[in-house]
Amino acid sequence: MERITWDQFFLAQCHLLALRSTCTRLAVGAVVVRDRRIIAGGYNGSISGGDHCIDQGCYVVDNHCVRTIHAEMNALLQCAKYGVSVSGADLYVTHFPCLPCTKSIIQSGISRLYYAMDYKNNSYAIELLKQAGIEVLHVPFDARKIDFLSTEREDLARDLLEELASTHTDQGTIDAYAQKVDALFGNRQKLSK
């Protein structure tokens, strides 16, 4: 097994946190990191003890759910709650932050922002990050690096292709499915009837 990079490791933590999200519109996770150590994490969800979107539906005002606290804010607020400075720390997040989160990131003293996916990247947020001198790095997250069942999934897909090849399915259909499997796993194997 190939060892993942630190960036992939911290983004994996963000994606795990996103699985705790109670938002039905977009699951987001964030971690604050200093010296390659996670000092806080957050996901988007309701206030502690409040109604959750997964239970009550989104509370949308001006096309934005106001019920949730964003992942970045939850991570930063966790640091504030426990008296942990984020000055000079890094923030990893699954999606590019919204404008209000960007402002909080800047005000908190974060030095570097790493994000895995573009999401409505606000041009003013980008401008503010530049003005603040915050290094912004887009690091695409490769979930296959942490898929502990990837071998079993690939074996199943290849077995199904073999089975399909043994039927009277035309070669074009087989090749089309093989291309999809290869895009997921690589190592194309030509299958013919």
List active site positions: 72
Is the CA virtual torsion 54, 56, 60, 66 positive or negative? negative
Task: Tell me the C-alpha distance between 56 and 35, whole Å.
Answer: 40
* CA 66 to each of CA 32, 50, 93, 178, 186: distance values in angstroms, whole numbers, following the listed order: 23, 12, 20, 44, 43
Our measurement of the distance from residue 3's CA atom to the centroid of its chain's CA atoms, rounded to an integer in Å, reads: 19
Helix axis angle, 99-108 to 71-81, nearest 10°: 30
Answer whether 106's CB lies under 8 Å from 89's CB.
no
Structure tokens at 75: 């991570």
Residue from 136, 137, 139, 188 nearest 161 by CA: 188
Return the SS3 of 156: helix
